[in-house]
């Protein structure tokens, strides 16, 4: 045992232990006996205080020159405890256990004696499928959700993890999403931080239940056919003095340089990503959620903050030892993170929330990249929202805000996000951003949704946007479910469901997202209409997209098509059942035998005002799913 501990601590101190959660913190070593292991390299003494000792210190013993402290004491599962540190200056402070698996409810910060969360998993079929169907040529449509404000009880209390199994998962599945992305559920104190100012890197937040309840939620999602991604924050941590900050009286987890340690933008402390023990800590955190909790991926928050020395306010002139802007240790850590994760789990998703033009974020490391699967396409998102927020007649001069994204759409493996960040802090909800009266706002929103769903790249939408909630997102109350009593909101929800299911059943929209063969642009030089084709891998598998960006119907519009034949209209955003005005729908069109814009043939259609049409070749083998067929409402 002593030899094993020496080996583990050697690896930990070299930044090579990605399973340190199995040894550090509190672990049961007998029926009622617990072992404690704490890293505090500059402490004078380290003790554990808790309910099991009437909050009197239980001294730990230093383990050689490792900077770690070890000891045992009897205790009962669930009892609260903290780490008591005497600093080199003689100050006595109480701190959290950085490796705690469970904590008391806010505002307390004591950990609970807890075994590694245990669960009898029933998701073997899901994991087997995940191993054989990598996401690049599969549908990936993510529903981003903040569990504390999706739904609440009448008294304002949260749904629990167990209640979310019944009240969240079936809804997300029915709406046609493939994955649920949870905003950070690691333990945090401040609701208003939305989980991004963390203290517990190995603990599901106690707000919604126990760690076992959290695992039950993940398992239930998998058994329902939903993947689960969670936001993960390795760049910074909460400032509170009883958490990780100045843990042993010195800069332990953060940079020793206060200027580098201080994260002005978020009011947090930056991890010292070049310190070996911090690397072991963070790598182990990632592995905990992927190994032990069966998560299907991590959306890594604030990657730009880890890539650049000058990203934060007041650091505009910071430079590395070579004179460049790059955070060399941050870049090295991200590569190391992806290397370790994919060595253990080649089938999970590692997603970078990265807002700069840093190259090759989603390229393999051996090709010079950072090694992520995907990068959020923030440029596409910003340009799209800017365009659709503009009055239709004023936007005629700004069509490049949409078409420019074609230039770089395959520079990375992109996810197209309309996330929580775009519907908060005075930015307005997606629906409220749209110009015109209420009818035209929904028409714009439907058309923008088609643009997102048909543009190359995977998809993400924040909760409430699927039915056009008018109010901005508020983390302190549930979504405005009452909106669905309004016919326009209810029909917008129907539209989103239909569009999601169309996406699921249309390989042309996802099989070749990241290959040039996946898209053919047919109309990109007009100020009012955009058209393109999306192609699957099978010959003839095609979806034709036409967007009319002005509130003027286009009669007898000539649309290029890839071949002679018959085409069916599989979606018209102006269908009355979606909130539009069309009650008689053009269902079948035949090619004219006349080439158009370099394509072999063309069809004549009526383009709905401020709307979109989706067409595909009609064959005798087509058997339309009920979700895909756009029926007449007369």
* Structural domains for the chain: 1-120+183-212+237-296+305-348+355-368 (2.60.40.10), 514-617 (2.60.40.1180)
Residue 321 CA to residue 2 CA, distance in Å, equals 40
Which residue, chain included where needed, has tokens 């994991």? 127
Residue 535 CA to residue 55 CA, distance in Å, equals 66
Whole-number percent of the chain with pLDDT over 70 = 97
- Catalytic residue ranges: 301, 353
Residue 577 CA to residue 630 CA, distance in Å, equals 9
Helix (H) or strand (E) holding 305: helix 303-307
Q: pLDDT tens digits, residue range 388-407? A: 999 999 999 999 999 999 99
Which candidate, 497, 509, 384, places its Cα nearest to that of 444? 384
Phi then psi for residue 208, to 5 deg, are -110, 5
Helix pair angle (438-454, 378-388), 10° resolution: 150
Beta strands per DSSP E along 183-325: 186-188, 198-204, 227-232, 236-237, 262-263, 268-270, 297-300
Number of Cα atoms under 13 Å in the Cβ half of residue 45:
12
**Mean residue pLDDT across the chain:** 95
The model carries a pTM of 0.96
CA-to-CA separations, 271 to 100, 244, 279, 534, in angstroms, rounded = 18, 10, 9, 43
Number of Cα atoms under 13 Å in the Cβ half of residue 90:
0
Which candidate, 414, 412, 390, 393, places its Cα nearest to that of 401? 390
From first CA to last CA, the distance across the chain in angstroms is 77
Paired strand residues for 529: 548
Alpha helices in 463-553 (DSSP H): 487-504
Paired strand residues for 544: 533, 615
Q: Which residues of the chain have pLDDT under 70?
A: 1-3, 620-634
Contact 345/290 with Cβ under 8 angstroms?
A: yes
Convert 436-473 into a string of H (helix), E (strand) and C (coil): CCHHHHHHHHHHHHHHHHHCCCEEEEECCHHHCCCCCC
Give the per-residue pLDDT at 634.
Answer: 31
Q: Two tokens at 462? A: 């924040």
Alpha helices in 135-250 (DSSP H): 147-150, 161-167, 169-174, 211-224
Phi then psi for residue 301, to 5 deg, are -80, 145
Give the per-residue pLDDT at 633.
Answer: 37
Contact 278/234 with Cβ under 8 angstroms?
A: no
Which candidate, 127, 201, 214, places its Cα nearest to that of 168? 214
Q: pLDDT tens digits, residue range 507-558? A: 999 999 999 999 999 999 999 999 999 999 999 999 999 999 999 999 999 9
Contacts 24+ apart (CB under 8 A), 319-328: 327/273, 328/274
């Amino acid at each position: 045992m002593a030899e094993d501990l020496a080996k583990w601590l050697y690896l930990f101190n070299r930044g090579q232990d990605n399973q340190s959660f199995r040894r550090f913190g509190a672990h049961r070593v007998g029926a009622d006996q617990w072992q404690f292991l704490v890293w505090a390299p500059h402490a004078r003494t380290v003790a554990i205080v808790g309910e099991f000792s009437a909050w009197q210190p239980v001294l730990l013993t230093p383990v050689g020159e490792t900077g770690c402290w070890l000891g045992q004491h009897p205790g009962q599962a669930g009892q609260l405890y903290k780490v008591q540190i005497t600093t080199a200056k003689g100050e006595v402070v109480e701190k959290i256990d950085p490796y705690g698996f469970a904590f008391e409810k806010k505002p307390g910060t004591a950990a609970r004696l807890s075994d590694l969360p245990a669960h009898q998993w029933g998701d073997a079929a899901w994991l087997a499928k995940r191993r054989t169907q990598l996401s690049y040529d599969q549908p990936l449509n993510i529903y981003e959700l903040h569990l504390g404000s999706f739904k609440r009880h009448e008294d304002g209390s949260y749904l629990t993890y167990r209640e979310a199994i019944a009240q969240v998962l079936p809804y997300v599945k029915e709406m046609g999403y493939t994955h649920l992305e949870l905003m950070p559920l690691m333990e945090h104190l401040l609701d208003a931080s939305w989980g991004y100012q963390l203290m517990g890197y190995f603990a599901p937040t106690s707000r919604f239940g126990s760690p076992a309840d959290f695992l039950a939620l993940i398992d239930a999602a998998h058994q329902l056919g939903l993947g689960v991604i969670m936001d993960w924050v390795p760049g910074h941590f909460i400032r509170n003095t009883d958490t990780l900050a100045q843990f042993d009286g010195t800069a332990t987890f953060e940079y020793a340089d206060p200027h580098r340690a201080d994260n002005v933008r978020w009011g947090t402390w930056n991890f010292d990503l070049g310190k070996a023990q911090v690397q072991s800590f963070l790598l182990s955190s990632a592995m905990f959620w992927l190994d032990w909790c069966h998560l299907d991926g991590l959306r890594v928050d604030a990657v730009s903050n880890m890539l650049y020395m000058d990203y934060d306010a007041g650091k505009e002139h910071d430079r590395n030892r070579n004179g460049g802007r790059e955070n060399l240790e941050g870049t090295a850590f991200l590569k190391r993170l992806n290397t370790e994760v994919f060595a253990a789990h080649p089938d999970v998703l590692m997603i970078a929330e990265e807002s700069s033009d840093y190259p090759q974020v989603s390229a393999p490391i051996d090709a010079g990249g950072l090694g992520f699967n995907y990068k959020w396409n923030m440029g596409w998102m910003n340009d799209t929202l800017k365009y659709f927020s503009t009055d239709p007649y004023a936007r005629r001069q700004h069509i490049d805000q949409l078409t420019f994204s074609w230039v770089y759409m395959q520079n990375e493996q992109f996810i197209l996000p309309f996330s929580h960040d775009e519907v908060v802090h005075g930015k307005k909800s997606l629906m409220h951003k749209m110009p015109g009266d209420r009818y035209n706002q929904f028409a714009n929103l439907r058309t923008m949704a088609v643009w997102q769903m048909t543009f190359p790249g995977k998809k993400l939408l924040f909760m409430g946007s699927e039915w056009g909630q008018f109010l901005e997102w508020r983390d302190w109350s549930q979504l405005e479910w009452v909106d669905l009593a309004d016919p326009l909101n209810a029909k917008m929800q129907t539209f989103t469901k239909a569009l999601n299911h169309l996406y699921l059943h249309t390989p042309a929209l996802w099989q070749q997202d990241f290959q040039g063969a996946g898209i053919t642009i047919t109309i990109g030089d007009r100020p009012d209409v955009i058209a393109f084709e999306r192609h699957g891998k099978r010959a003839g598998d095609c979806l034709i997209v036409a967007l009319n960006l002005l509130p003027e119907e286009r009669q007898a519009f000539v649309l290029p098509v890839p071949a002679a034949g018959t085409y069916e209209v599989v979606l018209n955003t102006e269908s009355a059942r979606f909130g539009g005005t069309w009650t008689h729908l053009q269902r079948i069109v035949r090619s004219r035998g006349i080439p158009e814009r370099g394509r072999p043939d063309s069809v004549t259609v009526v383009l709905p005002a401020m709307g979109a049409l989706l067409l595909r070749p009609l064959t005798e083998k087509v058997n339309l799913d009920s979700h895909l067929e756009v029926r007449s409402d007369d």
